[in-house]
């Protein structure tokens, strides 16, 4: 029996971009394929790691680095991991790519104007009123992923369903190309 290499699906984007919703759709897709992915939510991890007050750039980079090491640990045991996290920092992307075989970076690129409309946690509203600081993408600089494996660009016609569908279709294409390359080289 052939063992498929586990993947780490690193879903990133600013607050309100639809990371968790997209992750749930991806998990459903993976389960349909007979895989048993583990879901890691950045907000939940932050609480588990007792880092709810870690909001500076340096603290966020350290926290995101821990997420990357955890994902690697789980993938090394043969588990697929789907993580939904902001974690938009060049050192994190670089470490993940260098150390996690099967790493797939998914960037949900949603304009700030749309994020402000969604704002499910009132993060942008509170920041605009001066009640919240160190907000990723506002007063806290983030690094846009330079070469994500999948780059979903929001448009006015977009929905969470469209994003998930695009990502799953792209993953199918990537998988098809891998299989074709394996067959062509074998």
Q: Which architecture characterizes domain 8-185 according to CATH?
A: 3-Layer(aba) Sandwich (3.40)
Predicted TM-score (pTM) of the model is: 0.89
87 flagged as catalytic: yes
| Domain range list for the chain | 8-185
- Name the active-site residue from 87, 155, 158, 159: 87
**Over the stretch 79-127, which tens digit does the pLDDT of each residue have?**
999 999 999 999 999 999 999 999 999 999 999 999 999 988 999 999 9
- Range list of H helices, the chain: 19-32, 42-48, 57-76, 90-99, 112-118, 123-128, 160-185
């Amino acid at each position: 029996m052939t063992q498929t290499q586990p993947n780490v699906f690193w879903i990133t984007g600013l607050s309100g971009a639809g990371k968790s919703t997209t992750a749930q759709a991806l998990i459903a897709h993976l389960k349909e394929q007979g895989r048993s992915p583990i879901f890691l939510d950045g907000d939940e991890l932050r609480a588990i790691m007792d880092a709810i007050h870690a909001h500076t750039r340096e603290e966020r980079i350290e926290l995101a680095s821990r997420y990357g090491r955890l994902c690697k640990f789980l993938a090394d045991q043969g588990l697929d991991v789907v993580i939904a996290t902001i974690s938009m920092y060049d050192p994190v992307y670089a470490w993940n790519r260098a150390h996690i075989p099967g790493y797939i970076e998914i960037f949900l690129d949603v304009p700030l104007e749309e994020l402000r409309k969604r704002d499910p946690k009132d993060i942008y509203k509170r920041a605009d009123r001066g009640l919240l600081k160190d907000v990723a993408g506002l007063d806290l600089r983030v690094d846009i992923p330079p070469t994500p494996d999948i780059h979903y660009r929001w448009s006015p016609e977009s929905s969470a369903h469209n994003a998930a569908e695009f990502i799953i279709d792209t993953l199918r294409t990537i998988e098809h190309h891998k299989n074709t390359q394996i067959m062509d080289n074998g």
